[in-house]
Amino acid sequence: MTKILLFAVIADDDLRESIKENVSSDYVVSFDETLEALVGRLTKSQPSIILCQQSFLDKNQAVALAMLKTASPGSHILTIGPSRPIEKQVAALKHGARGYFNVALPMSTLNAALAGIMRGEVWVERHVISELIDELVFVPEVTQQQRKTLESLSPKELEVAKLVSHGATNKMIAHQMAITERTVKAHLTATFQKMNIPDRLSLAIFFRDLR
């Protein structure tokens, strides 16, 4: 049986040891202590699962998750930490995580969470799912005219715009697309002009509403 590759970025020594003791032997687990170290490894190897301690996301969750998704698009991301407000968990799902594991749960439950996200499910508390559904019901509709403007974008401009909507920086986009940051800026400038959009934030909101 082929084992599942799992990269974990965990700063807390006790949490790291607990994960080592409880994660099933179905996984090959390796640890990093910083996001930068993890991203560096992702350029060489792409794990099935990334387990990320929540403290690494507190400063700017959207950017940190976008960085991980850009570096390893096929990886399922599970965040782990103490109990978080509903809006924080919903935001993590919207930015690309597959769930949030509360360390107040028995650590043996982590295997169920990992198995779930490997099947394409999400791992959050039931009330968080309800909140997410309620929020999605009220996403403003994108008009046909707005959709038509997308036809004027080149494939590269469209790819840059989608990455921006996930919170990626110009540097991250350049790395993902194997182009220069100057070229990224040129694509963005052309997109702003074609779509009559004033700035990066407006572009990100537009593409978020398309999802």
For 31-43, the pLDDT digits (tens) are: 999 999 999 999 8
Closest CA to 81 of 4, 19, 6, 167: 19
Residue 132's H or E segment, with its range, is: helix 126-137
pLDDT given at position 78:
95
> What single letter denotes the amino acid at residue 7?
F
- In the 8-state DSSP scheme, what is residue 44? T
CATH architecture label of 144-210? Orthogonal Bundle (1.10)
pLDDT given at position 10:
96
- In the 8-state DSSP scheme, what is residue 123? B
Domain with CATH 1.10.10.10 in the chain: 144-210
pLDDT at residue 184 above 70? yes
pLDDT given at position 60:
84
Residue 176, CB half-sphere, CA atoms under 13 Å: how many?
23
Q: What residues contact 23, with CB distance under 8 A and at least 6 apart?
A: 6, 29, 110, 111, 114
Residue 162 near residue 155 (C-beta atoms within 8 A): no
Q: Which CATH superfamily is domain 4-137 in?
A: Response regulator (3.40.50.2300)
- Report pTM: 0.62
Cα gap 77→100, rounded to integer Å: 9
Q: Across the chain, what does the average pLDDT equal?
A: 84
Residue 77 near residue 52 (C-beta atoms within 8 A): yes
pLDDT at residue 29 above 60? yes
Residue 79 near residue 114 (C-beta atoms within 8 A): no
Domain with CATH 3.40.50.2300 in the chain: 4-137
pLDDT at residue 146 above 70? no
Cα gap 109→63, rounded to integer Å: 28
